[in-house]
């Protein structure tokens, strides 16, 4: 059994992960509309991963014999600008998710919940990877993205990303 505080913050995190899925899916639609199908693929794959992140939390809460309560998911919003500007927004979003995961970790410490602390460590590592992969794309876009031929190549590269379910 987990404490009410842990239950609540994990449920809030489910909502944040599902919001992330919505956000990436709306970005995927935007990129598809402007003909950047590789960017569209990358964000669509990320959307699926975010759903997985939410579901891992879902299963964990149930597995600890606690309650899942799904709350309203906000409408995703972002500025529909250049790929660089969209990815800068992605980076800021992921930083906010990292901060949210940090808050979960801090609460497991204050609640002396070592099992959930161990569980949430995977999310801390996942956030490091996500911030790193997004910042690398931003660096490429800053270095080469002003030229259409380079943007075409980056789009092609992002089009190769394949979905694999997270190895939790
Ligand atoms: Fe599940 Fe991108 O954080």
Residues 158 and 150: beta-carbon distance below 8 Å: no
- Residue 54 alpha carbon, nearest atom of ligand 1: 1
CATH 3.40.640.10, domain 4-158, yes or no: no
In three-state form (DSSP H/G/I as H, E/B as E, the rest C), the secondary structure along the chain is: CCCHHHHHHHHHHHHHHHHHHHHHHHHHHHHHHCCCHHHHHHHHHHHHHHHHHHHHHHHHHHHCCCCCCCCCCCCCCCCCCCHHHHHHHHHHHHHHHHHHHHHHHHHHHHCCCHHHHHHHHHHHHHHHHHHHHHHHHHHHHHHHCCCHHHHHHHHHHHCCCCCCCCCC
Which of 123, 94, 119, 92 is CA-nearest to residue 108? Answer: 119
Nearest CA to ligand 1 atom 1: 50
Is the C-beta atom of 50 inside 6 A of ligand 1?
A: yes
Q: What is the pLDDT, as a whole number, of residue 150?
A: 93
Token duo for residue 31: 């990129």
- Residue 49 alpha carbon, nearest atom of ligand 1: 1
pLDDT digits (tens, 9 = 90+) for 98-145: 999 999 999 999 999 999 999 999 999 999 999 999 999 999 999 987
pLDDT digits (tens, 9 = 90+) for 25-79: 999 999 999 999 999 999 999 999 999 999 999 999 999 999 999 999 999 999 9
Is the C-beta atom of 44 inside 6 A of ligand 1?
A: no
Give residue 42 CA to ligand 1 midpoint distance, Å: 14
Nearest CA to ligand 1 atom 2: 94
Is the C-beta atom of 113 inside 6 A of ligand 1?
A: no
């Amino acid at each position: 059994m987990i404490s009410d505080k842990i239950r609540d913050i994990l449920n809030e995190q489910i909502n944040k992960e599902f919001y992330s899925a919505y956000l990436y899916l709306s970005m995927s639609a935007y990129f598809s509309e402007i003909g950047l199908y590789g960017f569209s693929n990358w964000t669509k794959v990320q959307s699926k991963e975010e759903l997985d992140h939410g579901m891992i939390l879902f299963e964990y809460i149930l597995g600890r014999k606690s309650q899942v309560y799904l709350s309203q998911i906000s409408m995703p919003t972002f500025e529909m600008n250049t790929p660089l500007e969209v990815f800068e927004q992605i980076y800021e979003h992921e930083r906010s998710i990292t901060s949210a995961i940090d808050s979960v970790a801090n609460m497991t410490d204050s609640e002396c919940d070592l099992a959930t602390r161990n569980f949430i460590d995977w999310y801390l590592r996942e956030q490091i990877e996500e911030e790193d992969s997004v910042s690398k794309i931003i660096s490429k876009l800053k270095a080469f993205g002003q030229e259409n031929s380079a943007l075409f190549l980056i789009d092609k590269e992002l089009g190769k990303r394949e979905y694999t379910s997270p190895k939790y």
